[in-house]
Amino acid sequence: MAISGRRARRAALALLTGVALAALVGGTTVAAPVDAPPERVRSVTDVWMRDVTADVGLQPHWGNAIWASPDVRVCRTPVPCDVSTTAVVGATNYIKVQLRNPGPYGSGTDSGVLRFYRTDPGGGLVWPTAWTLVTSVTVVVPPGVTTVLVPWVGVPGPGHFELLAVWDSVDDPLPLLGSDIATNVRYSNNIAWRGVDSVIV
């Protein structure tokens, strides 16, 4: 009787040890990497911008070149341009963005903030430390395509730098972003990227 009791205790101890080890090992193997792709948060509406011409708003997407969004353009005059131009240092330029509604993850009129960020000429791309807020504007986006044109003063350069348009609203919030800007753009249809050259005229 004493022997079988000892065996039962040993078996129970082995079982508990095995469970504890499995939990420990399982906890380390499922830990998320430091810069995991952002997960889409639940949204009611879905305002989005194209990263490439063939983009339909699905996340993630693997089209290229994601740094030349057809929905983000730099214009030299307040007349919306059809092709992005070289920005002029020391002048008022304009950023034109086309916001599309609805996307594949929600529908309905949305109201939110469109923010613009830029890097320094020749600077890094790490989000958010390498990016400077340019300006922001509150926009109501009904179904269809809404064109937004905002003045842009303080263009850096001359040189090459990057420009981001970022849509954020209560009903269509941004995911938690990582430090890699290309991953953020591919995994969030709320973000569009445009490479910009600036000159002194």
pLDDT band with cut points at 50, 70 and 90 for residue 33:
very low
Q: Per the domain annotation, does 56 fall within a domain?
A: no
Residue 40 in domain:
no
| Confidence (pLDDT) at 154 | 95
Mean pLDDT of 32-48: 75
- Position 125 in a domain: yes
Specify if 168 maps to a domain: yes
Per-residue pLDDT of 88-138, as tens digits, reads 999 999 999 999 999 999 999 999 999 999 999 999 999 999 999 999 999
100, 174: one domain: yes
Q: What is the mean pLDDT of residues 65-89?
A: 96
Q: What is the chain's mean pLDDT, rounded?
A: 86
| Residue 143 maps to a domain | yes
pLDDT on residue 125: 97
Q: How many CB atoms lie within 10 A of CB 12?
A: 10
Number of domains in the chain: 2
> What count of other Cβ atoms lies within 10 Å of the Cβ of residue 43?
19
Measured distance CA(180)–CA(36) in Å, rounded: 9
Mean pLDDT over residues 45-59, rounded?
97
- What pLDDT was estimated at residue 35? 65
Distance CA 172, CA 174 (A): 7
Asked if residue 25 is part of any domain, the answer here is: yes
The pTM of this model reads 0.81
pLDDT number for residue 42: 75
Residue 193 belongs to some domain of the structure: yes
Q: Please give the radius of gyration of the chain, using alpha carbons only, rounded to the nearest integer.
A: 24
- Let me know whether 100 and 175 are in one domain: yes
CATH number, position 126: 2.60.40.10
- Shared domain for 106 and 173, answered yes or no, is yes
Domain residue limits at 14: 1-31
Return the higher-pLDDT residue of 12 and 39: 39
Please check whether residue 102 lies inside any domain of the structure.
yes
